Amino acid sequence: MSFCPESKEEMRLSRRSLLQWAVAVPAALAVSRVVAEVPFAEAAPAGPFKLPPLAYPYASLGPTISEMTMRIHHDKHHQAYVDKLNAAVAATPSLAGKSAQTLIQNLDAVPESVRTAVRNNGGGHVNHTMYWEIMNPKGGGAPKGDIAAAIRTNFGSFDNFVKKFDEAGEKRFGSGWVWLAMDKGKMKILSTPNQDNPLMMGMMPIFGNDVWEHAYYLTYQNRRGEYLKAWWHVVNWDAVNARLHYFAKNA
């Protein structure tokens, strides 16, 4: 079974839409400056997939996210997604050589016998790699650069954007993620269940927050809203800007 050409066409359309959006935001995104500066989960090589190391110490995101939460979340949960994704790919020769992004963008082309495993664990690997990348102990504060301009243009103000983002995260029933994504040239906030990623719906995931209980329960217990509010203290806007630029160039 091959990966469908329709998805390539969709991605070409998505890229065109994103560039149209970029041009529509005055001076917000100079396309000539759009450069993929760092590797992303979405750009990672094919398997076997590996758990990416953190770029900062486990304890350094405290008190927003505790060392214990980081150790369990990264070393246990993310490792499990990586191991199960590798097992699914190893059992399915037609999936060999595919990047994690390609796998989750083309789930219809994944044999049914491992489709759920690839969806959950491929999504888990891509989502968590993004999550570690967009946090930093020196993060927080107001957004800057192109993402700041894009948020102002699309949501009026950063405060309004945070309110809507956190509301979407709080409303997600059960486990999932809340995202800022690009959908046909428009920025939107959405939440997804389980380990689903906007890439699975043809959207581009600018950034997202993990609202599984494993992301916050040790510190915040059932108070997901407090975690969502505190999380902005560790968001690495440089990394978010780099992702925005990456998707403008490579979507």
The residues of the shown chain that bind Fe ion, judged by CB under 5 A, are 210, 212, 215
Please identify, using beta-carbon distances, which residue of 215 and 239 lies nearer to Fe ion. Answer: 215
Please identify, using beta-carbon distances, which residue of 153 and 175 lies nearer to Fe ion. Answer: 175
Shortest distance (Å) from residue 16 CB to Fe ion = 33
Please identify, using beta-carbon distances, which residue of 126 and 203 lies nearer to Fe ion. Answer: 126
Shortest distance (Å) from residue 158 CB to Fe ion = 25
Which residue number is nearest to Fe ion in terms of Cβ?
210
Please identify, using beta-carbon distances, which residue of 155 and 212 lies nearer to Fe ion. Answer: 212
Q: Give the distance from CA 159 to its chain's centroid.
A: 21
Whether the Cβ atoms of residue 251 and residue 12 lie closer than 8 Å to each other: no
Q: Give the distance from CA 121 to its chain's centroid.
A: 14
Distance CA 7, CA 159 (A): 35
Shortest distance (Å) from residue 128 CB to Fe ion = 6
Phi, psi of 149 (to 5 degrees): -65, -40
Buried b (16+ CB within 10 A) or exposed e, 179-205: bbbbeeeebbbbbbebbbbbbbeebbb
Shortest distance (Å) from residue 148 CB to Fe ion = 27
